[in-house]
């Protein structure tokens, strides 16, 4: 009897609790609702359980979040107060080994004037030029060596011919800065070179020049010839001077002058002149 009374009492109490929280058992349904209903918990118990569940979910989510995004938290030093005291400001890089390389130093203006040293007629001369300056312009306009002429300025007449390391070159088509470290010879060397001196004398004797505007270029070409071929034939002379033009048409006198110079040089070397 006592047991039945106790069961009755419990049954009425549970009904009261159900009516208070509005929970009704769902026949055949599983899950939280049926479990709560079957457990016949009070509102306080339910709230406690719910709070506990929320806390567990919150803690677990925070823990999962922390585990999942831990690398990100390490990178963002300012986002967490717990890491801000030990983190290093992003603007300060104390690791010099990984510091970014400084920007490359840009080259100086390639068109800017520069001072170079030219060896002209066996003399070293410092001269300020622009990289684009042609040798003929530097010789004539800067150094005042006006024996070298500039009639065409496009490698057609040969009047600007000079010797660079003993080889004839049209100075209107070579930049001055490219001749640094090389020997430049112009007609101004005159008595400083026995071959040039012999040609100068022969040019006067044989009427090598009418207006003589082409003369210095021819004499430079003939100098290179006679230094490698002391006894040239007419064809050798024509071939050596094929890059030179004489607007006066004085070609036969020019050839004669070169032959005379060769003869005089040969005589001088043998002690006959
Ligand atoms: S000026 Fe140089 S070839 Fe005529
Ligand atoms: S002598 Fe006049 S251009 Fe040659």
Residues 171 and 253 in one domain: yes
209-243 residue pLDDT tens: 999 999 999 999 999 999 999 999 999 999 999 99
81-136 residue pLDDT tens: 343 444 444 444 555 567 888 777 766 788 899 999 999 999 999 999 999 999 99
Residues 73 and 198 in one domain: no
Token look-up 């010099």 returns 96
Q: How, if at all, do strands 183-185 and 161-164 pair?
A: antiparallel
Residue 172 Cβ inside 6 Å of ligand 1? The answer reads: yes
Residues 270 and 150 in one domain: yes
Residues 14 and 142 in one domain: no
Lowest mean pLDDT among 13-22, 169-178, 215-224: 13-22
Residue scoring higher pLDDT (230 or 21) = 230
Residues 247 and 168 in one domain: yes
Find the CATH number of the domain harbouring 174.
3.10.20.30
CA pair distance 244, 237, nearest whole angstrom: 11
Of all ligands present, the nearest one to the C-alpha of 245 is: 2
Which residues form the pocket of ligand 2, taking CB atoms under 6 Å from any ligand atom? 209-214, 246-248, 250
What pLDDT is stored for residue 4 in this prediction? Answer: 54
Non-local (6+) Cβ contacts of 149 within 8 A are: 159, 160, 213, 214, 216, 217
What pLDDT is stored for residue 109 in this prediction? Answer: 85
Strand partners, 120: 123, 184
Residues 46 and 135 in one domain: no
pTM score of the predicted model: 0.63
Q: For 92-127, b where at least 16 C-beta lie within 10 A, e where not — what string?
A: eeeeeeeeeeeeeeeeeeeeeeeebebbbbeeeeeb
Residues 75 and 10 in one domain: yes
Domains held by the chain: number: 2
Residues 136 and 230 in one domain: yes
Q: Which domain holds residue 161?
A: 114-273
Residues 243 and 150 in one domain: yes
Q: Which atom of ligand 1 is nearest to the CA of 160?
A: 2
Residues 133 and 261 in one domain: yes
Mutate to test the pocket of ligand 1, among 154, 186, 241, 245 (most ligand atoms within 8 A of CB): 154
CA of 229 to the centre of ligand 2 (A): 25
Look at residues 38, 64, 81 and tell me which one is the last residue of a structural domain: 81
Closest CA to 159 of 230, 254, 260: 254
Whether residue 134 is contained in a domain is answered as: yes
What pLDDT is stored for residue 100 in this prediction? Answer: 82
**In this model, does residue 166 exceed pLDDT 60?**
yes
Token look-up 């306009």 returns 141
Token look-up 């070293």 returns 124
Q: Say if CB 172 and CB 160 are below 8 A apart.
A: yes
Of all protein residues, the one whose alpha carbon is nearest to atom 3 of ligand 1 is 155
Residues 49 and 171 in one domain: no
Q: Which atom of ligand 2 is nearest to the CA of 249?
A: 4
**In this model, does residue 174 exceed pLDDT 60?**
yes
Q: Where are the alpha helices (DSSP H) in the chain?
A: 2-21, 31-39, 43-68, 70-75, 81-84, 135-137, 194-205, 215-228, 234-240, 251-269
Non-local (6+) Cβ contacts of 201 within 8 A are: 261, 264
Of all protein residues, the one whose alpha carbon is nearest to atom 4 of ligand 2 is 246
């Amino acid at each position: 009897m006592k047991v039945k009374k106790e069961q009755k009492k419990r049954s009425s109490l549970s009904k009261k609790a159900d009516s208070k929280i509005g929970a009704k058992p769902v026949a055949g349904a599983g899950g939280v609702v049926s479990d709560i209903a079957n457990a016949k918990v009070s509102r306080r118990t339910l709230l406690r359980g719910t709070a506990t569940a929320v806390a567990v979910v919150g803690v677990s989510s925070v823990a999962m979040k922390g585990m999942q995004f831990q690398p990100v938290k390490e990178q963002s030093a300012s986002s967490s107060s717990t890491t801000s005291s030990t983190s290093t400001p992003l603007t300060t890089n104390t690791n010099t080994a990984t510091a970014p390389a400084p920007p490359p130093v840009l080259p100086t203006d390639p068109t800017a004037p520069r001072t170079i040293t030219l060896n002209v007629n066996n003399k070293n001369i410092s001269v300020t030029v622009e990289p684009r300056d042609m040798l003929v312009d530097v010789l004539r306009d800067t150094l005042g060596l006006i024996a070298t002429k500039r009639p065409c300025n496009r490698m057609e007449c040969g009047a600007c011919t000079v010797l660079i390391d003993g080889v004839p070159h049209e100075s209107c088509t070579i930049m001055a800065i490219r001749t640094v470290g090389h020997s430049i010879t112009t007609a101004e060397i005159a008595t400083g070179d026995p071959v040039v001196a012999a040609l100068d004398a022969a040019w006067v004797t044989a009427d090598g020049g009418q207006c003589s505007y082409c003369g210095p270029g021819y004499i430079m070409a003939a100098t290179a010839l006679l230094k490698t071929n002391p006894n040239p034939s007419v064809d050798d002379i024509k071939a050596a001077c094929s890059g030179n033009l004489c607007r006066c048409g004085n070609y036969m006198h020019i050839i004669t002058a070169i032959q005379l110079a060769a003869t005089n040089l040969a005589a001088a070397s043998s002690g006959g002149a």
